[in-house]
Structure 1
């Protein structure tokens, strides 16, 4: 099968997922070409779309898989007239009411299939007006050779450690943790950004530091900044729990990385990571909009070392069984085959 993947990493942190999926499908015998808009300044979206259209006319792919909404818009235009089915993965959805939301809804109604990373994303898409039958839930994978429990552990003191990963911006929900930290004694919060992700809001680090001062926990909140690929597993292993309380549908890949390292995950009930994290088994589901309940849950969890350890062990087992790249690639391959076969039926009828 000739597969074209279209990505735009200037919009979301999708490169690791696209790269691993493309490599896995190539290993399965497919011919995969990845088209990446690497720089929005030197390659405007219009030029990128024209480039794709030209390549698709010269050698039509059997299937196109777009990653993120801007790549989807370019791919939708470029595939016109080729007959190639288009699969869309959003890697996070925009806020309701904006242009991005409008385009994401349009894409969901026009493409052959939407691959949602979690049930929460599928439900949001249905509420947006995307037909449920056009959505398949297919989670991201995790590199189990890179993320594992054995290996270097980042230095830490005697305090419990909560870890927050992601862009330092309001959408990440780090302020939700800082606001309850005074009610969780002997606990520090480390905030870090995986290398390659830019800080969206330059004023957010200052706001978080001021918030920590206002709550009397400035000495227990540490903004570490960028963490490179080698440092990230060690940092994950050092934490008692990864906190995933974002205000948008993100955080699923971070939860997988933590669980693969044997670290429990505390996530928002109904959030993007809620499918991955089994409440009371691999971590906790909490309601970040209820600060008292959140603080109580954190205190009880951290006061039970056996629970912390058991959740870490169960998390690794769950990720190994369900989220390895071997399984994700095989599941994706089956979805592709079904979509290509369905697209071929109308062409066969027209040829009669």
Structure 2
């Protein structure tokens, strides 16, 4: 089986890193086309031996991408096209249709009101639904996203749930790594370190964490990620008087040179996700794999499971004062690691790849029967 994966960009992000993690577990040869921004994940994929082609799109309305994608698909001998993220879906599915190659799509980022950080409107919803009909299946990364797709009007029989996955071994707590990472950050061994991971964009609401930090004397905040809100967050930290307690190491991967996300999670004492909404919430699952008590305001990955599978995680208020009270409770109780709950094993990357492989096989079988 030969598959072409088409993705909007390859900077450090959840969908981009999820694609990289999946490829070694799929029983297929996989090539990747990125429409824009061949960033760090493109470099990592090439180091993994994956062929990555940059299409060089100049914007959402660069229609030259459609015939170029169609030629790549038609000439590449692909059995299947798999698209990831909104722009890749609305261009990749028509291109695959024109090249007469079956396509499926994974919906990584559909929220109630936003998609990929942008407000939903009638136009992008209509375009998504129009192109969705040109594919054979749409994969939702959570039951929550599957429900949203049904509410949009995607037929039930075309929706499949394949949750995001992690390699839990990479996140296993390591006391030596904790010590090294704290030393790199100039954080003392007894300092209570609150942590968060994600792109610095408005929807993550990291400003709430900063305001809670201002009401939690003695605690420090480790905010892992980068994005357009960085300067605004730095300005807010200065206004709140917490600049000396804020650590911004930038975007980090799960492997490679330190600091890495597993090392930074090891350095933390409690993990907090303040997102307005999520399609999955992978960072929270990674935090649990690292043995971190995890607080969240929206996380389908955990909310879609029974409570006994998510021990150590708790939904909390997004009000800064109430969040500060929660953090103070952990400080008072003392920092302790937890045993990773059953949710971590449930979201094993090999298990997700196996589910996806069944969808590939079924799609090709149904395509062959129609021929």
> Normalised by the shorter chain, which TM-score bucket?
0.7 to 0.9
Match of 2:359 in 1: 335
Q: CA deviation at 1:162?
A: 1.0
How many angstroms apart in 2 are the aligned matches of 1:10 and 1:99? 25
How many angstroms apart in 1 are the aligned matches of 2:207 and 2:229? 14
Match of 2:192 in 1: 160
Equivalent of residue 283 in structure 1, options 280, 299, 313: 313
SS of the counterpart of 1:115?
A: strand
Match of 2:47 in 1: none
After superposition, the C-alpha distances for 1:282-318 in whole angstroms (9 at most, x for unaligned) are 3211232x44543343333443348x523xx224x54
Match of 1:350 in 2: none
1:256 aligns with 2:285: yes
How many angstroms apart in 2 are the aligned matches of 1:276 and 1:241? 21
Pair 1:46–1:285, CA change in 2 (3 A): same
Pair 1:143–1:277, CA change in 2 (3 A): farther
Kept after mapping to 2: 8 A contact 1:10/1:38: yes
Pair 1:225–1:4, CA change in 2 (3 A): closer
SS of the counterpart of 2:170?
A: coil
Pair 1:178–1:220, CA change in 2 (3 A): same
SS of the counterpart of 1:200?
A: coil
Kept after mapping to 2: 8 A contact 1:162/1:241: yes
Q: CA deviation at 1:322?
A: 2.0
Equivalent of residue 61 in structure 1, options 65, 70, 78: 78
1:49 aligns with 2:50: no
Equivalent of residue 134 in structure 1, options 153, 158, 163: 158
How many angstroms apart in 2 are the aligned matches of 1:20 and 1:298? 33
Kept after mapping to 1: 8 A contact 2:102/2:364: yes
Equivalent of residue 223 in structure 1, options 236, 241, 248: 248
Kept after mapping to 1: 8 A contact 2:97/2:134: no
Pair 1:148–1:202, CA change in 2 (3 A): closer
Q: Which moved more, 1:46-55 or 1:60-69?
A: 46-55
Match of 1:118 in 2: 142
How many angstroms apart in 1 are the aligned matches of 2:368 and 2:327? 53
After superposition, the C-alpha distances for 1:169-225 in whole angstroms (9 at most, x for unaligned) are 2222111122223443432212121xxxx5224642344324533xxx444333333
Kept after mapping to 1: 8 A contact 2:210/2:237: no
Q: CA RMSD in A?
A: 3.1
Corresponding residue pairs, total: 331
Match of 1:35 in 2: 33
1:314 aligns with 2:344: no
How many angstroms apart in 1 are the aligned matches of 2:223 and 2:74? 47
What TM-score, normalized to structure 1? 0.80
Pair 1:162–1:139, CA change in 2 (3 A): same
Kept after mapping to 2: 8 A contact 1:268/1:274: no
Match of 2:90 in 1: 73
What TM-score, normalized to structure 2? 0.77
Match of 1:346 in 2: 370
Kept after mapping to 2: 8 A contact 1:105/1:125: no
1:177 aligns with 2:175: no
SS of the counterpart of 2:249?
A: strand
Q: CA deviation at 1:254?
A: 1.8
1:238-249 mapped onto 2 (5 Å cutoff):
238-249=267-278
Match of 2:7 in 1: 7
Please, which runs of 5 or more residues in structure 1 have no aligned partner? Answer: 348-352
